[in-house]
Chains A and B, each alone.
Chain A
Amino acid sequence: MRQIVSKAVRTRGGKAGLGSLAAFVVLALAAAGCGSSSPTTNKSSGTTTGHAGGTFTILANSAFGVADPAQNYTLEEWQLLIDSHDGLVTFAKVAGVAGTKIVPDLATSIPTPTNGGKTYVFNIRRGIKFSNGQTLKPSDFVTTFERQFTVPGPTSFYSGIVGASSCSTKGCNLAKSGGVVANNSNYTLTINLTAPDPELMDQLSLPFADVVPAGTSLKLTGNNVPPGTGPYMWKSYNPNTEAVLVRNPYFHVWNTVAQPAGNPNEIIEKYGLQVSSEVTQVLNGQADEVFDGDSIPSDQLTTLNSSQYTSQVHVNTLTADYYMALNTTRAPFNNLDARQAINYAANRAAYVKIYGGSSLAVPACQILPPNFPSYKPFCPYTSGAQTVWSGPDLTKAKALVKASGTAGQKVVVDSTNDQVGTALAEQMVSDLNAIGYKASTQLLTAANQYPYIQNSANAGTWNIAYSAWFQDYPAPSDFLNVLLGCGTIHKNSDASPNIAEFCDPAIQKLINEAEADEATNPSQAASLWTQVDHMDTQQAAWVDLFNPKQIDVLAKTVQGYKWNPQWYILIDQLWLNK
């Protein structure tokens, strides 16, 4: 009954309608180090000593779609792209909390912004080659950033670059506009922004900004992944069969934290098996890993509890929310009492069981997930003490429904028609009926449901909509502004992540202040974000259900497991004890 699927279609800077891409974007400040043996690295050769060799085989239910790094927005490809490509900066490729730190990658250091926080000058490393033998130059980054706009994809991450507003899929010239200026003689790259953006380094750490050679087509490259600078290169990718990565002969280690050498000689990801078959094959040693985005059926979760598999199964906490967005544009949930009532009535223990039980999820109380920056525990919608969720409070919920004058109204719960989505919707219907509403379900396929509930044109057909959000990077704005800010409501667009269409001018004012303070006064910003989190929770635009955990299933022969909060399992750091 477990599902880990996120669809983080994002829009920033008011630019809506950017294509719906199912995404599975991650990161957690949470603990779960899980690091084990770390192989020593031979810096001159770029290969690890002792553990190098072999073919590491991943089994995934389906492929990740189009492979172009400027478009792909899935964890499935990102877990491979971080082994074949590099950006200016990146999240440290290490296990545990240290993995949330941003470190220089192809830049020699992280620059301090000038020009009031609007200009960044990066010194680019010399002597690095792409997997096709071409030498890396600063001008390669100009093409990379221009492709963010000429290739259809979530360009909003970089829409703050000067000149970006005049870019489109028809063309883009950031060098001419002065947005991205390369100096190939002194190996510097200057990025100019229209306004200070304290999250720029987070955004540059995402694989969208991974550098590709200057000659790369400005159009979508389809299933051909352009050359990168990492320890591996893409030999082939066929969404119907497999992706194959082999060693990049030109790679050498320049920063062991940003891009260490990989262990397997070859990484293969095979597609098309049922998840149950994937688990069986991995447990039998016929493959090495079940892709961690695949939902393992309830039956096999029980199987994995056997003591013989303890060393092969790893569970980690994610910074993600599974929630029900309340439609604040229409009755009954345009009424605060009604919204708070269903928050009190929601039986979060039941939702946790649907997801696979307490070892795979914990009841959620507030918008920000535990162990996230600015997170301070706040649990108003529970019976008993208000520190952790202990049970629904139906008495309070019924009183609020009565006070709201909405009792007996019809409520439509929109969800996905897969097992977990259906079960969550049925439980929500039960919770709503228990406090006097007449609830029914509206179940759509997962591919249709997320764009459907985002589009305000459909808001008249539902009252509560199931969704999930996995962080892009560890910044409170990624939840509080993206999902509940006034600026992320894009009318009649399929890419309007504020599904509840919740907009509170007072809260938005605090969000703006927090963003402004991030560069100059981080502690004040953190305090403001905490305040925003608690205020949003009190305004109850969501019923926050639970924070999920994630399972990795590996073959017995796999060693060196490391779990990074941003990228999850570090595939290239695994080694095969065969």
Chain B
Amino acid sequence: MAAVAEQVSVPGLRPATAGRNPWALAWRRLRRNRIALAALVLFLLIVVLSLAAPLYAHDIAHDGNVLSPNLNGTTLVHGKLTPVMQQGGGVLKLGEAPIGPTWDLSHYFLGADGIGRDVAGLLLYGGRASLQIGVSSAVICCVVATLVALVAGFFGGLTDTILSRLMDIIWAFPVYLLAISIATVLLTKSTGIQVGFLHVSATSLWTPTVIIGFIYVPYVYRPVRGQVLSVVNKEFVEAAIAQGASNVRLIFSEILPNVVSTVIVLMPLMIATTILTEAALSFLSVGVQPPNVSWGTIINNGQALLYTRPWVSLAPGIMIVLTVLSLNVLGDGVRDALDPRAKLRVG
């Protein structure tokens, strides 16, 4: 925190903010931004609702598992036992239509999907998966990108060239094409991914998490590396070198604290981006795998029911919009709070 310490230790000049912790200052700025705060509250509300999924599912699960098909099940509608899947009418009796919204929290509030599952229950469980993947992959992405950017920017030369070109190669692939290719390969490995002692099953939520985290590394690497390059030759770094600081100490004690605000600003925007990517991949059936659900898989399931049961697709669509909107607004607020002059954007 050398650079920050420099700013506040000039004697005789005591502006209003002098002596304040920069994080406290940022938080104060953020609190003044009511739109950003509203976005934060909205995001937290979505998180809490999703975490509460088991409480809701406890009421409505037909066999202890809200995620398993319930094609032959029944439910109460206005006190009357009604089949969850209803055969088409007329002479031909074609098709099986899932029950529509009952607006009864205990009995298929938003209706059923194509295999008789409670859409409201799926929505909450889907939120857990979408948020878990979105947040985890954004964290993985930002951590990996920051580490690579620190190494590349600090050592420069051949190291920087190799790492930057590697990032360029990943960047050169269209995001979705790369993600679909990796996912397709991994999904055929029923034994999952084994890296040393770490094992991830093919249908685990960690599979799309790792894939999405990986493909966005260059998108965070670029701005962070730029920040590292702008910091690495500053006086306080030279002073630390003169004091005999090791490379590790220079990177993590001198440079990292001065680029971390960039990463923090990028984080909510990355979460929004990764949530959208997860939804897209799951919609294309290469993201979250059954029996897990995410908002993307629910939209996919609802495709064939758009005319008669639009809520199956609409509800998760609305949740994605609200989540991404709240994260983008929050991201802008965080950016303004941490560095009002910055113009960072993702994507």
Q: Is residue B210 contacting chain A, with contact meaning CB distance below 8 A?
A: no
Please name the residue on chain A nearest to B284 by beta carbon: A417
Known A357-B94, A422-B285; contact A301-B290, beta-carbon cutoff 8 A: no
Task: Out of B203, B303, B304, name the residue touching A440 (CB < 8 Å).
Answer: B203
Known A302-B94, A305-B89, A353-B96; contact A461-B190, beta-carbon cutoff 8 A: yes
Q: In the complex, are the beta carbons of A444 and B114 less than 8 A apart? A: no
Q: Is residue A216 contacting chain B, with contact meaning CB distance below 8 A?
A: no
Name the A residues within 8 Å of B286 (CB-CB).
417
Q: In the complex, are the beta carbons of B285 and A417 less than 8 A apart? A: yes
Q: Is residue A462 contacting chain B, with contact meaning CB distance below 8 A?
A: yes
Interface of chain B residues 265 through 314 with chain A (CB within 8 A):
285-286, 289-291, 300-301, 303-309
Q: Is residue A166 contacting chain B, with contact meaning CB distance below 8 A?
A: no
Name the A residues within 8 Å of B190 (CB-CB).
412, 440, 442, 460-462
Q: In the complex, are the beta carbons of A301 and B85 less than 8 A apart? A: no
A344–B4 alpha-carbon span in the complex (Å): 71
Q: Is residue B320 contacting chain A, with contact meaning CB distance below 8 A?
A: no
Q: Is residue B189 contacting chain A, with contact meaning CB distance below 8 A?
A: yes
Q: Is residue B90 contacting chain A, with contact meaning CB distance below 8 A?
A: yes
- A1-36 CB mask vs B (1 if < 8 Å, else 0) is 110000000000000000000000000000000000
A458–B191 alpha-carbon span in the complex (Å): 12
Known A298-B304, A299-B306, A300-B307; contact A442-B94, beta-carbon cutoff 8 A: no
- Which of the 9-residue segments B67-75, B134-142, B229-237, B333-341 touches chain A? B67-75
Q: Is residue A426 contacting chain B, with contact meaning CB distance below 8 A?
A: yes
Q: Is residue B259 contacting chain A, with contact meaning CB distance below 8 A?
A: no
Q: Is residue B184 contacting chain A, with contact meaning CB distance below 8 A?
A: yes
Q: Is residue B201 contacting chain A, with contact meaning CB distance below 8 A?
A: yes
> What's the nearest-Cβ distance from chain A to residue B314, in Å?
14
Q: Is residue B95 contacting chain A, with contact meaning CB distance below 8 A?
A: yes
Q: Is residue A315 contacting chain B, with contact meaning CB distance below 8 A?
A: yes
Q: In the complex, are the beta carbons of A310 and B96 less than 8 A apart? A: no
Q: In the complex, are the beta carbons of B188 and A461 less than 8 A apart? A: yes
Q: Is residue A142 contacting chain B, with contact meaning CB distance below 8 A?
A: no
Known A441-B203, A442-B187; contact A427-B95, beta-carbon cutoff 8 A: no
Number of interface residues of B (CB under 8 A): 41
- B84-104 CB mask vs A (1 if < 8 Å, else 0) is 010111111111110000000
A366–B114 alpha-carbon span in the complex (Å): 27
Q: In the complex, are the beta carbons of A353 and B71 less than 8 A apart? A: yes
Candidate in B87, B290, B303 with the most chain A CB atoms within 10 angstroms:
B290
> What's the nearest-Cβ distance from chain A to residue B316, in Å?
16
A316–B194 alpha-carbon span in the complex (Å): 49
Known A298-B114, A349-B72, A461-B188; contact A419-B92, beta-carbon cutoff 8 A: no
Q: Is residue A110 contacting chain B, with contact meaning CB distance below 8 A?
A: no
A394–B201 alpha-carbon span in the complex (Å): 29
Name the B residues within 8 Å of A442 (CB-CB).
187-188, 190, 202-203
Interface of chain A residues 299 through 344 with chain B (CB within 8 A):
299-307, 310, 313, 315
Q: Is residue B3 contacting chain A, with contact meaning CB distance below 8 A?
A: no
Q: In the complex, are the beta carbons of B290 and A297 less than 8 A apart? A: no
Q: Is residue A526 contacting chain B, with contact meaning CB distance below 8 A?
A: no
> What's the nearest-Cβ distance from chain A to residue B112, in Å?
12
A419–B300 alpha-carbon span in the complex (Å): 8
Given A1-B96, A412-B190, A422-B290, 6 new contacts (CB under 8 A) = A297-B305, A305-B91, A417-B286, A423-B115, A425-B290, A429-B291
User: A interface vs B, CB < 8 Å?
Assistant: 1-2, 297-307, 310, 313, 315, 347, 349-350, 353-354, 356-360, 412, 417-419, 422-423, 425-427, 429-430, 433, 440-445, 448, 452, 458, 460-462, 551
Cross-chain pairs A/B with CB under 8 angstroms, 9 sampled: A1-B95, A1-B114, A302-B95, A304-B92, A307-B91, A313-B92, A356-B96, A357-B87, A357-B93
